[in-house]
C-alpha cells in the first residue's frame, strides 16, 4: 500500500516527509487555525461552510492565507483524490509560519504554512451510539470571548485538552465545559444539545461555543423533522434533568450523552429523538447537496 500523501506548501509529499520547522509559530505558540472535515460517499461534507469558517478564523487572528478560498478548496479535494478517499476525514491547517523565537511574528522570515491531511478517523465504536457516552463536568471554565474567542478554531486547544485529560482521569468519555457564569457551553470536541418535552435546546455561540458545522446541519435537520429548536442558555441542572441529550461534531456526528457526573440522563440509553436525528443526519450526508464531489 502506498504511503499517505500530505499537501504541504504547494506540493504533495509522503507523510514521512511532511515536516514543519521547530521555529514555526504554530508549534511554538499555537499560532494558527484548523478545520476538521468529513468526506461521505465521494463528496466532502459542507466543504464551503468549512472554508468560510476557516477564512473567518484567519481574519480574526490577522493571518493572511497563502492561497485563495477557491485554491484551498481544490487542495482539499485533490488531497482526497491523491489518497483515494471516498469516506474519510480531512484536517486542514494553516500556521503563522514565522521563524524565530519572538512572540511577534516576522512575516518576512517565512510566510504562512498551509497543509492538508486526508485519511480516516473512527472516534467511537458503533455500540457507543446505542449506549451513549459518560460525561463529567470539568473544573476548568471555557475560554471567554474577551480572551480567545472559542469561535476561532485556533491551534491553541489547551483549554480543551486539559478538560479532556480531566475527563479521562475520571474514566469518562468527554468533559462538559461551563462558562464563568456556570452556563453550559460545549464539550471538549463537540457541541451539546438537550431535549426536554420534545423541545431541542443548544447553547448560543456567544456563551463560548464553536459554531459547529455539524451543529448547524443538525439544527436544520431537526427543524425539518418538525422539532422546535431553541438556541438559548441553560444550566447543568437543566441538562441533568432533561429527557435526552446528545453531542455533535465532525468526527462524532451525533452521539448520545447518557451519563452525566455519574447520573443517568433519561433512562441511561440513547433516546428515541436522538436516534431519529442520527439516522436522518446519516441519510442527509448521502445527498448531493450536502457536499462537494471529490
**Positions marked catalytic:** 153
Taking the C-alpha atoms of residue 121 and residue 29, their distance in angstroms, rounded to an integer, is: 26
Is there a contact between 93 and 34 (Cβ–Cβ < 8 Å)?
Answer: yes
Is there a contact between 9 and 253 (Cβ–Cβ < 8 Å)?
Answer: no
Cell digits for 109?
A: 522570515
Residues in the chain: 294
Write out the E strands in the chain: 5-8, 11-14, 32-40, 43-45, 88-95, 113-119, 133-141, 174-178, 184-187, 191-196, 199-202, 229-231, 244-249, 253-260, 263-264, 291-293
Question: Is residue 241 helix, strand or coil?
Answer: coil
Residue 96 vs residues 45, 76, 83, 88, 190: alpha-carbon distances, Å: 26, 19, 26, 27, 26
- Tell which residue, 233, 14, 80, has the closest CA to residue 142: 233
Cell digits for 182?
A: 456556570
Taking the C-alpha atoms of residue 87 and residue 94, their distance in angstroms, rounded to an integer, is: 23
- Tell which residue, 55, 52, 53, has the closest CA to residue 64: 55
Burial of residue 228, with CB atoms counted within 10 A of its CB: 0-12 exposed, 13-18 middle, 19 or more buried: exposed
Q: 11: how many CB neighbours lie within 10 A of its CB?
A: 9
Amino acid at each position: 500500500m502506498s504511503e499517505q500523501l500530505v499537501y504541504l506548501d504547494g506540493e504533495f509529499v509522503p507523510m514521512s516527509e511532511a515536516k514543519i520547522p521547530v521555529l514555526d509559530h504554530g508549534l511554538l505558540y499555537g499560532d494558527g487555525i484548523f478545520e476538521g472535515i468529513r468526506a461521505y460517499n465521494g463528496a466532502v461534507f459542507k466543504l464551503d461552510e468549512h472554508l468560510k469558517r476557516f477564512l473567518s478564523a484567519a481574519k480574526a487572528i490577522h493571518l493572511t492565507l497563502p492561497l485563495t478560498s477557491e485554491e484551498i478548496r481544490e487542495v482539499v479535494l485533490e488531497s482526497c483524490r491523491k489518497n483515494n478517499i471516498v469516506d474519510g476525514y480531512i484536517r486542514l491547517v494553516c500556521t503563522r509560519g514565522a521563524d524565530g523565537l519572538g512572540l511577534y511574528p516576522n512575516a518576512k522570515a517565512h510566510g504562512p504554512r498551509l497543509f492538508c491531511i486526508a485519511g480516516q478517523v473512527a472516534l467511537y465504536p458503533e455500540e457507543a451510539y446505542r449506549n451513549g457516552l459518560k460525561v463529567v463536568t470539568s473544573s476548568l471554565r471555557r475560554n471567554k470571548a474577551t480572551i480567545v474567542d472559542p469561535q476561532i478554531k485556533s491551534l491553541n486547544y489547551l483549554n480543551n485538552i486539559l478538560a479532556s485529560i480531566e475527563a479521562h482521569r475520571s474514566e469518562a468519555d468527554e468533559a462538559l465545559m461551563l462558562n464563568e457564569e456556570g452556563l453550559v457551553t460545549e464539550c471538549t470536541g463537540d457541541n451539546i444539545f438537550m431535549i426536554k418535552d420534545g423541545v431541542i435546546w443548544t447553547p448560543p455561540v456567544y456563551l463560548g461555543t464553536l459554531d459547529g458545522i455539524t451543529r448547524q446541519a443538525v439544527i436544520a435537520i431537526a427543524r425539518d423533522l418538525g422539532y422546535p429548536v431553541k438556541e438559548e442558555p441553560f444550566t447543568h441542572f437543566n441538562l441533568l434533568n432533561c429527557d435526552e441529550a446528545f453531542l455533535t461534531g465532525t468526527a462524532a456526528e451525533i452521539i448520545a450523552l447518557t451519563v452525566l457526573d455519574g447520573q443517568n440522563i433519561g433512562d441511561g440509553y440513547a433516546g428515541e429523538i436522538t436516534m431519529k436525528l442520527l439516522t436522518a443526519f446519516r441519510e442527509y450526508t448521502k445527498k448531493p447537496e450536502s457536499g462537494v464531489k471529490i
